[in-house]
Amino acid sequence: MQYREFGKTGKRLSLLSFGAMRLPEDEKEAVELIRRAVELGINYIDTAPVYGESEVIVGKAVADVRDKVYLSTKNPLEDNTAEGWWSRLNRSLERMKVDYIDFYQVVHGLNWNSYETNFRLAGLDAAEKAKEQGIIGHICFSFHDSCENLIRLVDTGEFEGVTLQYNLLDRSNEPGIEHASRKGMGVVVMGPVGGGRLGAPSERIQKMIPGGVKSSAEVALRFVFANPYATCAISGMSTMQQLEENVKTASRTEALSPTEKALVLASLEENKRLAELYCTGCKYCMPCPNDVNIPENFRYMNYHRVYGLTDHARRSYAALGTKDHWIEGQKAQACTECGECEPKCPQKIPIIKQLKETAAALG
C-alpha cells in the first residue's frame, strides 16, 4: 500500500481508503470486509450518519484496531445552532462507540451558500471548540458545489481538508484540488469510480492504458492516484474481490507512467470532444413542455456512445422518470417532436433525431 501526507497534519493516509456507504447488507460480512481492509494497509475509513447503520458497523469493525485507523464521519448540518451541531457530533461518537474522530467533516456537503448562511454562524465556533477539546482531530468538509466556490472555501483558511468528487467522467474540480493542496490542505477524492459507473466493463476505457488492464475500475483508480495533489481516494467496496483488486492497484509505486498519463489525458480530451458534439449540457433547450430531461438523456447516451458504459447507461435510462428517482424529468421516448427545443440549442444539435436514437439504444 502506498501512503501520502494529508496536508500539513503530519498524518499519512493510505492511497486507497475505505468508503463505508456501500457495505454488504449482512453485518458480519461488512465487519469482516473492513477488518480485512485494515489488514491490507488501509488506514482511513469514511462514513456518515446518513449511510444507514454504517457508523455502527464501522465502530464494531475497528473497536480493537482503533489505534491503526483514522476515522472520518460527517455532520449533516440540519440547523444553524451550536447545540444542534454538537448533538449530531455526539450522536456519531455514540454510534461508533469512540471518544474522538480523527478527520471530521464538520459539514456534510458544504457549499458556499450554506457556509455563509449557516455553518459560519454557529458551527465554526463549535468545530474549533471540539478540536481544542480533542474530540475531533482535524476540521474538514465534504463538498458538492462549483470549483469556483471550492477555491473560495479553501481561501477562508478555516479548513484542513476536503472530500470531493473527481474521476474520469468528472474533472471539474481539478483546479480546486491543486489549489487546496498548494494551500496545505489534504484532499480526499470520493467517487473515483464514478459511483460505480466506471466499474462497469468498457473496452474503450480499458484501452486508455496500453498493454491491457484487468478492469475499467483499475483505469479509473490509477487516473485518480496519478494526481499528485490528491491525498487518497475513498472507494465504496462491497466485496472481498473488489477490495483485493483495488488494494493491488493502490500498491503500485507509480500509478501511471508519464507516457500512460499522456495517453489517458489525450483519450479524455477526445472523449470530451465527442461528447460535446452530442451535447454540452448547457440546458438552453430546457424546459421541455413534455418534461423530457434532454441533457440527462444525452448524458446517458454519451456513457454508451463515447465511453462504452452501455449497461450503466441503460440502467440509468430505465430509472429516469420513475417515482423514486432523484433526477427529475422524463425519458427520451416521451418526446412528441413539438420542436420547441431545437431553435434554442447553440450547437444546432438535431435534438429530436438524437432523442429517438437515445430511446432506441437505451430503451
Contact present, 42 and 14 (Cβ < 8 Å): yes
Band of pLDDT at residue 282, cut at 50, 70 and 90 = confident
Residue with cell 465487519: 31
Q: What percent of the chain has pLDDT over 70?
A: 99
Q: What is the pLDDT of residue 202?
A: 78
DSSP secondary structure string for all residues of 339-362: -SSGGG-TT---HHHHHHHHHHHH
Band of pLDDT at residue 33, cut at 50, 70 and 90 = very high
Residue 163 grid cell:
472530500
C-alpha closest to that of 101 among 164, 47, 42, 143? 47
Contact present, 292 and 329 (Cβ < 8 Å): yes
CB neighbours of 209 closer than 8 A, spacing ≥ 6?
A: 219, 222, 256, 260, 263, 264
The answer to whether residue 276 scores a pLDDT higher than 80 is no
Interior/surface letters 304-327, b for 16+ CB within 10 angstroms, e for the rest:
bbbbbbbebbbebbeebbeeeeee
- In the predicted model, what is the mean pLDDT of the chain? 91
Contact present, 110 and 141 (Cβ < 8 Å): yes
d(CA 208, CA 271): 11
* Cα separations in angstroms, 126 against 79, 82, 243, 303: 13, 6, 36, 43
Q: What is the pLDDT of residues 298-357, one digit of tens each?
A: 999 988 988 888 888 999 999 998 987 788 999 999 999 999 999 999 888 899 999 999
More confident residue, 279 or 55: 55
Q: pTM for the complete prediction? A: 0.84
Q: What is the pLDDT of residue 267?
A: 86
Q: What is the pLDDT of residues 228-271, one digit of tens each?
A: 999 999 998 889 999 999 999 999 999 888 988 898 889 888 87
Which domains, and CATH codes, for the chain?
3-257 (3.20.20.100), 279-362 (no CATH)
φ/ψ of residue 216, rounded to 5: -65, -35
d(CA 250, CA 220): 12
Which amino acid is present at 70? Y
Q: What is the pLDDT of residue 166?
A: 92
d(CA 346, CA 230): 36
DSSP secondary structure string for all residues of 213-257: -S-HHHHHHHHHHT-TT--EEEE---SHHHHHHHHHHHT-S-SS-
Q: What is the pLDDT of residue 305?
A: 84
* Cα separations in angstroms, 18 against 1, 81, 246, 326: 13, 31, 10, 25
More confident residue, 11 or 119: 11
Helix axes 216-225, 240-250, angle to 10 degrees: 40
Band of pLDDT at residue 123, cut at 50, 70 and 90 = confident
Interior/surface letters 33-71, b for 16+ CB within 10 angstroms, e for the rest:
bbebbbebbbbbbbbbbebeebbebbbbbbeeebeebbb
d(CA 254, CA 232): 14
What is the average pLDDT across 176-200? 89
Q: What is the pLDDT of residue 119?
A: 86
Residue with cell 449533516: 76
The answer to whether residue 201 scores a pLDDT higher than 80 is no
The answer to whether residue 204 scores a pLDDT higher than 90 is no
Q: What is the pLDDT of residues 1-14, one digit of tens each?
A: 999 999 999 999 99
The answer to whether residue 118 scores a pLDDT higher than 90 is no
Helix (H) or strand (E) holding 142: strand 136-142
The answer to whether residue 197 scores a pLDDT higher than 80 is no
Which amino acid is present at 27? E
Which amino acid is present at 250? A
